[in-house]
């Protein structure tokens, strides 16, 4: 029997799952991950960690599974006998949750119950610690700022309501059955591998393409929304620290600084040497090129590169998120390596590199992507 710790990560193919797997492997864990069956490969983010299944003593093992399938989850937990479960799997897009509310309740809400109940039924309550990926979306409509562990919840989307169930069922199993089950209430965190439809990555990808002459314009929704953005690498470290604490508790993880979507746009374009000027308000708002010191491609001064499209507005919006991470800093000694500017730089550097490949393809006459038309 190996003396190594065993972790099970649901959502290992996602942004956080991939960084956490890398982090735990460096800590000499045996890492098991649950991935969904898909018609195309969906392991891009963890391919660099892949180990040939024919090799003995692997420390990264993937299982097919789904948060909506109790029998499957129970079987995997029984087989793996994990010391720690990180429940990161979720339909995590707030806007999409308005379109698929029942599915989100099932995967994000009841899915968490399935994990907790499996651990209980299998008699693992004293062995297995559980981290639940809770979210600042729970705060929703602003009750107070900054938001801390004691701020009341007011969820504003089917996603947030499902995550509220997951939050409380985690607390309930901790209190009812003495489980080491904790919520990390994480504020927005981003990275170069952030999903392409979340606003930060949508912006850094588009700013890169526009700077390289591959795209003309970026359409966005609410530019006034304010978010407390951190770097995913700093946040996955905290997930692990939460499960190493003396007592199971709930923790806010945030930077304590909030920024508008508009300012994130400005910072991203600025990295590529493009200064923007915003004009108008709300549905009429647009951004124009004020100056361009971009050496790769010269944009015309005054050209319109960002425009608001109301189709991206949400039926109910979360206007302002600003977290207070004092408890995590004081009790767990959590510190951050990345400031917002460094996060933007990291994402822009990576996307510019990625899009540069498309420039070569375009220059070589390769013409299949829609934005080449």
Residues with a known catalytic role: 135, 137, 159
Tell me how many degrees the CA angle 364-368-373 measures, rounded to the nearest 5.
Answer: 90
Long-range contacts of 22-26 (CB under 8 A, 24+ apart): 22/49, 23/236, 23/237, 23/240, 24/240, 25/49, 25/59, 25/60
Q: What does the block give as tokens for 363?
A: 């220059």
Identity of the residue, 103 or 198, whose beta carbon is nearer to ligand GDR in the bound complex: 198
30-49 mask for ligand NDP (x: CB under 6 A)? ----x-x-x---x-------
| Choice from 50, 312, 366, 371 touching ligand GDR (CB under 6 A) | 312
**Residue 64 binds ligand NDP (CB under 6 A):** no
Q: What does the block give as tokens for 349?
A: 């550097």
Closest residue to ligand GDR, judged by C-beta, is 225
Q: What does the block give as tokens for 22?
A: 């890398």
Identity of the residue, 312 or 371, whose beta carbon is nearer to ligand GDR in the bound complex: 312
> Can you tell me the distance from the alpha carbon of 235 to that of 16, in angstroms, rounded to the nearest whole number?
8
Identity of the residue, 13 or 135, whose beta carbon is nearer to ligand GDR in the bound complex: 135
**Residue 186 binds ligand NDP (CB under 6 A):** yes
What are the residues facing 51 on neighbouring strands? Answer: none
Identity of the residue, 201 or 237, whose beta carbon is nearer to ligand GDR in the bound complex: 201
The site partner of 17 among ligand NDP, ligand GDR, none (C-beta below 5 to 8 Å per kind) is ligand NDP
Q: For residues 192-206, b (16+ Cβ closer than 10 Å) or e, as one string?
A: bbbeeebbbbbbbbb
**Residue 107 binds ligand NDP (CB under 6 A):** yes
For residues 290 and 273, the answer to whether their CB atoms sit within 8 Å is: no
- Return the residue matching tokens 């600025």: 270
Residues 117-146 within binding reach of ligand GDR (CB under 6 A) = 135-137
70-109 mask for ligand GDR (x: CB under 6 A)? ----------------------x-xx--------------
| Choice from 168, 198, 240, 278 touching ligand GDR (CB under 6 A) | 198
Q: What does the block give as tokens for 303?
A: 């050209």
Torsional sign, CA 201, 203, 207, 210: positive
User: Which of these segments, 15-23, 169-177, 237-245, 255-263, binds ligand NDP (CB under 6 A)?
Assistant: 15-23
Torsional sign, CA 263, 333, 325, 159: positive
What residue ranges bind ligand NDP (CB under 6 A)? 10-11, 13-17, 34, 36, 38, 42, 66-68, 88-92, 107, 133, 135, 186, 188-189, 195
């Amino acid at each position: 029997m190996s003396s190594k710790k065993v972790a099970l990560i649901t959502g290992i193919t996602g942004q956080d799952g991939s960084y956490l797997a890398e982090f735990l492997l460096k800590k000499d864990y045996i890492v098991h991950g649950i991935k969904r069956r898909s018609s195309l490969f969906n392991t891009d983010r963890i391919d660099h960690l892949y180990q040939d299944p024919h090799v003995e003593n692997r420390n990264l093992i993937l299982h097919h599974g789904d948060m909506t399938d109790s029998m499957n989850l129970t079987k995997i937990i029984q087989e793996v006998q994990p010391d720690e479960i990180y429940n990161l799997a979720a339909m995590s897009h707030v806007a999409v949750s308005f379109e698929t509310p029942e599915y989100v309740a099932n995967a994000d809400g009841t899915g968490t119950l399935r994990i907790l109940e499996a651990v209980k039924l299998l008699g693992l309550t004293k062995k297995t610690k559980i981290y639940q990926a809770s979210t600042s979306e729970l705060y929703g409509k602003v009750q107070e700022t900054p938001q801390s562990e004691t701020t009341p919840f007011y969820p504003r989307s089917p996603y947030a309501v499902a995550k509220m169930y997951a939050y409380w069922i985690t607390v309930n199993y901790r209190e009812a059955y003495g489980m080491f089950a904790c919520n990390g209430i994480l504020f927005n965190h981003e990275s170069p591998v952030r999903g392409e439809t979340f606003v930060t990555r949508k912006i850094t990808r588009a700013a890169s393409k526009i700077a390289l002459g591959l795209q003309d314009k970026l359409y966005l929704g609410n530019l006034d929304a304010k978010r407390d953005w951190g770097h995913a690498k700093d946040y996955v470290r905290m997930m692990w620290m939460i499960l190493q604490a003396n007592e199971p508790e709930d923790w806010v993880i945030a930077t304590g600084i909030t920024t508008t979507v508009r300012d994130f746009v400005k910072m991203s374009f600025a990295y590529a040497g493009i200064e923007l000027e915003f004009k108008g308000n709300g549905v009429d708002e647009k951004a124009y090129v004020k100056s361009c010191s971009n050496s790769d491609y010269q944009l015309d001064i005054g050209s319109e590169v960002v425009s608001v499209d109301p189709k991206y507005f949400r039926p109910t919006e979360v206007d302002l998120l600003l977290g207070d991470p004092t408890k995590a800093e004081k009790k767990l000694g959590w510190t951050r390596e990345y400031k917002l500017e460094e996060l933007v730089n990291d994402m822009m550097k990576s996307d510019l590199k990625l899009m540069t490949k498309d420039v070569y393809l375009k220059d070589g006459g390769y013409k299949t992507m829609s934005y080449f038309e």
